[in-house]
Structure 1
Amino acid sequence: MAKVPFDVDSYTARLIGRENVSKLEGAIIELVKNAYDADATKCLIYYNELNHSLVIADNGCGMNEKIIKDNWMTIGRSSKKENFVSDKGRVQTGAKGIGRFALDRIASKAHMITVNSEESIEWIINWEDFSSNKKLSETYAEINESIKCIPEFYESLNLSNLNTKRVINKDFADTGTFFYLTQLREIWDEKLIKRIQKSLSTMIPPTMEEIFQIYMFTNDISEDGAKIVSYHEESYDYKINFGTSKKNKELMEIEIIRNEFDFRGKDKSVLKEAGFTKNDEKYFSGSSIFSKKRLSELVNEVYEVPVAEIGEFHGTFYFFKNSATKNDTQKFYYKDFSNRRNMSEKFGGIKIYRDNFWIRPYGEFATSSYDWLLLANRKNQSPAAVSSEKGKWRVNSQQIYGQVYISRLNLHLEDQSNREGIVESKQFSAFKEVLLNIIELFENDRQYVLRKLKDLYDKKNEAERLENELKEQIREAEKKEAEQKSKQNTAQKKAVGESEIASEQNLLLEKVRPVVAKKESEIEELTNEVKMLRAMATTGIAINTYFHEISSLVNDIHEEIYEIKEAAVIDDIDTIKKAADKAYSYKQKFEQWYEVTIKSVKSDKRKRTLWEIQDLIGNLCDAWSESLGSERANIEFIDPYESINYRCFPFEIESVVNNLISNSISAFDDICQTHNRSVKVEIQRLNKGFKLIYSDKGPGLPKKFRDNPRKILEPLKTGKIEGTGLGMWIIDTIVKDYNGSIDLSKCGKQKGFYVEINFE
């Protein structure tokens, strides 16, 4: 039996080059990366509009003939796979051995001169040869020993920009690689050139300009004008630096810098009156807020990713606002930012850099990947104002930009083969969650500051209003007293005058009273609407828990109806009766499901009155048990055997229990637990209310919440990838409405989940 080797069609090179690197900017960047990997300090790009040609050159280490044959011309082979640290200590960006095919994306013909410490080589290729029906092994490039150095080769091209010639002669005299590309595949108009310049300016971070400079020349541009400058701005309101600890790779070190506030010389009085701490005084004066977090605290355990797999990374985020009312500027002591430009358009969003090169398209303005952390969605889910007493403020995607730095050592954050982002792995999802939790630390700090400043403003203005009102009343009283004395009225006339004053006051009260009543009515309506929305949200969560049962019931009923129809054709009464009995049992299950979900928001449960709590909660637990069955949960209700009457909206008490049970069922299902799916619900009388004690034998709190269990009461905090994060927040808001309290102190100290809720 003969063994036949595989061969490759020459069109493969076209797939790798022109069709794999989708954008022209991406192809240019691939060649610039090669220059960086070659330890170049300068990379020069020159478009000559006179003959529609392009020069790309670097002053790196160059290549010899062996490297060209063994690596440059072997698809998929790269000398950087194992030896990825350059002679100058740079971590090299390339590894796949396909970046050189970016030349095909740019032009049909390429002429290269490369010079290293040993020799000078000329390499010529026509990429159109790869469009024929030849095999790849039958397609050739031309390699010659060259007698020209790079400045001499440049001189022979007769290019007109003398500034370029000066840079070439000064910085490219020894070693490097020079490409001369002709028959360009796109029209290089002014719009395209500006697009490439912008891509190059965002490709490298500001810190890299000292060791690697890029120039983009045309025929009539100066050296300073051609130099690519990385965008950077120091006009920010908050700055957040973060990075993996050098001493402990499982720790994240975070630094928050406040730069938003100017107390107009009243620092001491404002900080004291607002109730800020001594540490806050330092933070407002330029000191940084430092914190350390274990990576395990910042990653949801449902990703099942060891934190070590994310790898080391660091970065900086900048928060800025583009607008504020005059009143807010005074209230919150904002610094003047009137000269600030639109940051999001200039700097884009949050960019990821691997070994100092931007991984497109993350953070690219006006693309779907601008908001790759989905900050806008997060904001929509929690739209609370920054100074709101209720709810969590979330930063919008248009208010934050920055850089995150990873390297090729982040093995599980691998580039996609088309160089258009990172593979969407579990590790990448966990990486994104860490970044969101870092952003949340800043959000918490800003909301903390602005809440205190708002309280101070409200307190001052309330005092000022009452003071002005009192002064006005005193002036009116003095005026009336003076009038009465001057007229020397009789006691009778004086009494009449006092009566008139009292009548005026009563008339004013009569005018004010309906206005106040109307406002109180509107507030009550809004409050009731919020309560109803909470109940509807709970219904949605409960329905989601029953989704499997509902789907099964629908299918089962459909089958029985089909059986009845088939049996009716042949008058099979026994089969009809059996199928009808089964359908009826399924209908009863639907009623049980209806009892737990939809019925909880019926009008009779939206009236606040005295309810027997043991019956209300006991019946609800029975309904859950009957509808779910013991295979999904064993719900035990501990009856106090005494009447506990409590004035409440019953749908709110049911919402608390429904959310707790839904969470337990979801936790049981997540770990595929087939045994000990037990839930215990107990109530006890209090002097002025009752206590609800709830526990289950599930997996308990996710690791990220065990050090601080009360974080689960915040909106959108979930231990599941697909969870809503609303259940415990709804419980917390309901309990607060009843002046109650939630005790989670035993969570994490015993198996499963445990909470005590006091309704006062």
Structure 2
Amino acid sequence: MTKIPFRVSARTARLIGRENIASSKGAIIELVKNGYDADSPLSLIYFHQERDCLYIIDSGDGMTQAVIEKHWMTIGTDNKTNDIFTATGRVRAGAKGIGRFALDKLGDCCEMTTKPKNKELSSIWCVDWRNFEGNFKTIDAVTADLSTIQELNLKEYILNEICDAKAQDVVKQYDFNSGTVLKISNLRDNWDDYFVSQVFDDLEVLAPPKEQGNFKLFLYSNDKPNQYGEILGSICDDYDYKLVARADKNQNVNIEIFRNEYDIETIPPEFFQREFAQKSPYRLDDFNKGSWRTNKTFSELLAGFKEVDEDNVFEKIGEFEFTFYFMKRTYSNPDLEKFYYNKFNANDRKDWLNKFGGIKVFRDDFRVRPYGEAKDSAFDWLGLGGRKAKSPATPSKPSGGWRVGPDNIAGGINITRLGNLEFEDKSSREGLQENKTFQIFKLIILQILSTLEVDRAILAKEMKLFYDDLYFDDFVKKDADKLAEKILENAREKQSNKGAEQENEETKEKIILSKRIEEKDEEIGALENEQKILRGMATSGIVTASFSHELGNLSGVLASRTDELIELLEEKSPQNLYQNTPDFLNPYILIEDMRKQDAKLQNWLKFSLASARKDKRRRKSIILSNYFQNFKSTWSNVLSNRMIDFSYTVDNNKLDIRAMEIDLDSVFNNLLVNSIDSFLRQKQNNKREIMLKVNTTDKEITIDYFDNGEGLSQDITDPSKIFNALYTTKRNEHTGEEIGTGLGMWLVDTIIKEYNGNVKLLYPKNKGFGIRIAFIKKYQRK
């Protein structure tokens, strides 16, 4: 056997550089990273449009001839992967060994002059990337020129190359005993001022503001010598809300919320006497502190995912820090009065957000592009815009649901190469690989963000209610005074005090009615939202009812078709002919599999058609013992297939309730489906039991429902949340996204409340789930 080597086309270099690196701006940033990795205190970028060249200069360690030959000339070298830390302790920003091909993205030719630290011999490396073009040319046939020079004065060399006085002043501030100068010529792009300014803006967010003193960036342009200079990031101190979250290796997240939106001195003391303001973090002391803290775990933030995650994704995420700023772009005077906002300069905020907005990602204090980059598709990489579109509520909406939008936020997420091993670069250097760990990480970030959203929404709602309570009576009083004056004038004219008193009494009634109308408007708004959800659910029922006849016929066909197939098959090919045939080729076994699938489909049709019956939608007296007997019979096949034991007891066989049967079906079908899902999640083969107990007292009928499944997720810190519309812990095991409707337990709660009943969660001793449903006796038969 002959072993033959691979041959690499010279075109590969072009693919890596010119076509694989997404943009020229990205290529410049890649080359700036080389200076950072060389422990340089600065990187200087100089555009000389007249000469059609670009300089990228650093005063780092430089390279020896051996390093150039062994590492610089090796495609995909792994020296930065194995040697992660620099001499000063920096974590190297590069790792793939292909960043130098960014030179090809920028221009046809490159000349690199490099002086190594503590060495007398410097090197000049030259390459013409056009040599890599041509048919049938392999990469080993293309060469670069390497020459050496003794005792090079690197600083003088740079000063001679650069003619900009301000750039020269920067060079003079550093010793340049070692360093590297990249001179790229025959530029591929037209670097007029518009594009140079874009590079300047990008570099402003290359590193977090706190790191500016460690590594300085300078940019100058020959066309605009007075327009550019040192690139400084901007620390945000004019925010409404700030969130700082720190996740440790044990999956604990410490979250601190800073409130800067409210002018505390203008908030009346009575506001902090309201019931909600007696609890942390809404007390006056909490406001005076300026911030409050809470602790969460990954499991609590992404409730339900840990139970379905077989890859231990939470453990792969690692430590990170997240800093987030929320800033309104403007406000109205009524809102200023109603929500006690601090005043701010709207134009300044708008300009700052346009330049520094978006959530950036930093790895080892170096930005990972293009996350949060303005005018880029990855600006809203967390999907905040789509999230807000699904829930466009105002902050003060009584039912909550306010979401931040992508245009009002800024911030950064800090990760590390050593602490977040799963977050690997794409080969294009445009973002991180979209693996499962990164997808779950994004969901965790969104859940952390929701802590701020809930806090602001609660305060906005309470402030609006307080404002309405505080001033509504004044508004009404003014109107009432005007009416009273008019009534008195009429009274004097009529000289009838009795008539005036009668009209004044009518005015009071009008005021009372106007208050009641406002309350009803709020109730109607809540009911309209509820109606939207129910309308969508009703559509499914209408479709089923419309095709009930056809579906009924289909159910009949399913019951008999497998038997007919077997009869036809036995006439031509009896079963004994397939005794030694593998199962997957045995038609009788395949038909039995089909029979099982038909049975499942029959059960589904049975439930659907039963729910669509008109008699179930009429209120009538229902004897509970008969109802639960029929309920058990309907579900018998499903329960037996899943080896679930369902039992019920009714302490009075004549006990009845006046209700619509479809309502009872909605309640107990949802409870049963949740129990089945819980059993399927169990990892132990325990006996599966569902128990239902119906009891009666003089005042109420109680129905206790228990199962011995997994119970509520331990990640749910507030169990009452399960009754909120759209709240679910059912998640996709691969993406972590919600797959449950979040409507089942909400329906249970809503239906029982319509009957003036109530629900209460029970907690069985031997794990599992329990709930008590109570109906008052007025719904029993009279």
Taking structure 2 as the reference length, the TM-score comes to 0.81
More displaced stretch, 710-719 vs 184-193: 710-719
More displaced stretch, 262-271 vs 431-440: 262-271
Matched, 1:699 2:710: yes
Partner of 1:622 in structure 2? 633
Partner of 2:577 in structure 1? none
The counterpart of 1:242, out of the listed 240, 245, 251, is: 245
The counterpart of 2:413, out of the listed 380, 387, 404, is: 404
Q: Which amino acid aligns with 2:319?
A: E
> Offset of 1:233 from its aligned partner?
2.9
> Offset of 1:255 from its aligned partner?
0.8
Q: Which amino acid aligns with 2:740?
A: G
Matched, 1:131 2:133: yes
Matched, 1:378 2:387: yes
Partner of 1:291 in structure 2? 294
Matched, 1:723 2:740: yes
The counterpart of 1:150, out of the listed 149, 154, 179, is: 154
Partner of 1:490 in structure 2? none
Partner of 2:215 in structure 1? 212
> Offset of 1:462 from its aligned partner?
4.0
> Offset of 1:701 from its aligned partner?
3.1
Q: How does 1:455-494 map to 2 (within 5 A)?
A: 455-465=465-475, 467-468=477-478
Partner of 2:363 in structure 1? 354
Q: Distance in 2 between matches of 1:5 and 1:689?
A: 85
The counterpart of 2:309, out of the listed 303, 306, 309, is: 303
Partner of 2:186 in structure 1? 183
Cα distance 1:41–1:277, how it changes in 2: closer, same or farther (>3 A)? farther
Structure 2 residue matching 1:724: 3-state secondary structure: coil
Deviations 1:523-569 (A, max 9, x none): 798488357337549979x99xxxxx99x9899699879969999xx
Cα distance 1:110–1:585, how it changes in 2: closer, same or farther (>3 A)? closer
Q: Distance in 2 between matches of 1:261 and 1:554?
A: 67
Structure 1 residue matching 2:741: 3-state secondary structure: coil
Q: How does 1:561-600 map to 2 (within 5 A)?
A: 592-597=603-608, 600=611
* Alpha carbons 2:700, 2:774 under 8 Å: kept: yes
Q: Which amino acid aligns with 1:153?
A: Y
Partner of 2:259 in structure 1? 258
> Offset of 1:240 from its aligned partner?
0.4
Structure 2 residue matching 1:636: 3-state secondary structure: strand
Q: Distance in 1 between matches of 2:523 and 2:459?
A: 33
Partner of 2:44 in structure 1? 44
Taking structure 1 as the reference length, the TM-score comes to 0.83
More displaced stretch, 293-302 vs 645-654: 645-654
Q: Distance in 1 between matches of 2:601 and 2:375?
A: 48
Q: Distance in 2 between matches of 1:614 and 1:126?
A: 89
Partner of 1:394 in structure 2? 403
* Alpha carbons 1:43, 1:58 under 8 Å: kept: yes
How well do the aligned residues superpose, as a CA RMSD in angstroms? 4.4
Partner of 1:91 in structure 2? 91
Matched, 1:431 2:433: no
Q: Which amino acid aligns with 1:619?
A: N
> Offset of 1:212 from its aligned partner?
1.2
Deviations 1:70-93 (A, max 9, x none): 211112213221221111111111
Q: How does 1:515-530 map to 2 (within 5 A)?
A: 526=528, 529-530=531-532
Q: Which amino acid aligns with 2:463?
A: L
Q: How does 1:299-338 map to 2 (within 5 A)?
A: 299=302, 300-301=305-306, 302-304=308-310, 305=312, 307-338=314-345
Q: How does 1:729-748 map to 2 (within 5 A)?
A: 729-744=746-761, 746=763
Cα distance 1:256–1:217, how it changes in 2: closer, same or farther (>3 A)? same
Q: Distance in 2 between matches of 1:40 and 1:710?
A: 56
Structure 1 residue matching 2:55: 3-state secondary structure: strand
Structure 1 residue matching 2:173: 3-state secondary structure: helix
> Offset of 1:688 from its aligned partner?
4.3
Deviations 1:405-428 (A, max 9, x none): 001011122222222222223322
Cα distance 1:232–1:675, how it changes in 2: closer, same or farther (>3 A)? same
Cα distance 1:167–1:667, how it changes in 2: closer, same or farther (>3 A)? same
Structure 1 residue matching 2:350: 3-state secondary structure: coil
* Alpha carbons 1:617, 1:657 under 8 Å: kept: no
Deviations 1:220-242 (A, max 9, x none): 44477232232443221110011
Matched, 1:420 2:430: yes
* Alpha carbons 2:272, 2:284 under 8 Å: kept: yes
Structure 1 residue matching 2:441: 3-state secondary structure: helix
Partner of 2:665 in structure 1? 654
* Alpha carbons 2:264, 2:287 under 8 Å: kept: no
Cα distance 1:583–1:128, how it changes in 2: closer, same or farther (>3 A)? closer
> Offset of 1:110 from its aligned partner?
0.9
**Percent sequence identity over matched residues?**
32
Cα distance 1:131–1:742, how it changes in 2: closer, same or farther (>3 A)? farther
Partner of 1:575 in structure 2? none
Q: Distance in 2 between matches of 1:698 and 1:442?
A: 34
Partner of 1:753 in structure 2? 769
Matched, 1:11 2:11: yes
Deviations 1:660-680 (A, max 9, x none): 233333344456888745444
Structure 2 residue matching 1:315: 3-state secondary structure: strand
Q: Distance in 2 between matches of 1:209 and 1:602?
A: 71
Q: Distance in 1 between matches of 2:7 and 2:204?
A: 41
User: Structure 2: which 5+ runs fail to align?
Assistant: 546-550, 573-592, 733-738, 777-782
> Offset of 1:22 from its aligned partner?
1.9
Q: Distance in 1 between matches of 2:488 and 2:645?
A: 73
* Alpha carbons 2:488, 2:500 under 8 Å: kept: no
> Offset of 1:9 from its aligned partner?
2.4
Q: Distance in 2 between matches of 1:399 and 1:19?
A: 34
Matched, 1:365 2:374: yes
The counterpart of 1:684, out of the listed 695, 702, 717, is: 695
Deviations 1:118-155 (A, max 9, x none): 13211111122222433323322222212433333334
> Offset of 1:180 from its aligned partner?
0.5
> Offset of 1:250 from its aligned partner?
3.6
More displaced stretch, 726-735 vs 469-478: 469-478
Deviations 1:379-437 (A, max 9, x none): 34444432233243332333332100001011122222222222223322332232122
Structure 1 residue matching 2:205: 3-state secondary structure: helix
Structure 2 residue matching 1:17: 3-state secondary structure: helix
> Offset of 1:513 from its aligned partner?
14
Structure 1 residue matching 2:424: 3-state secondary structure: coil
> Offset of 1:605 from its aligned partner?
4.6
* Alpha carbons 2:260, 2:290 under 8 Å: kept: no
Structure 2 residue matching 1:256: 3-state secondary structure: strand
More displaced stretch, 349-358 vs 394-403: 394-403
User: Structure 1: which 5+ runs fail to align?
Assistant: 488-493, 544-548, 571-581
Q: Which amino acid aligns with 2:531?
A: E
Q: Which amino acid aligns with 1:277?
A: Q
* Alpha carbons 2:324, 2:359 under 8 Å: kept: yes
What is the aligned length?
727
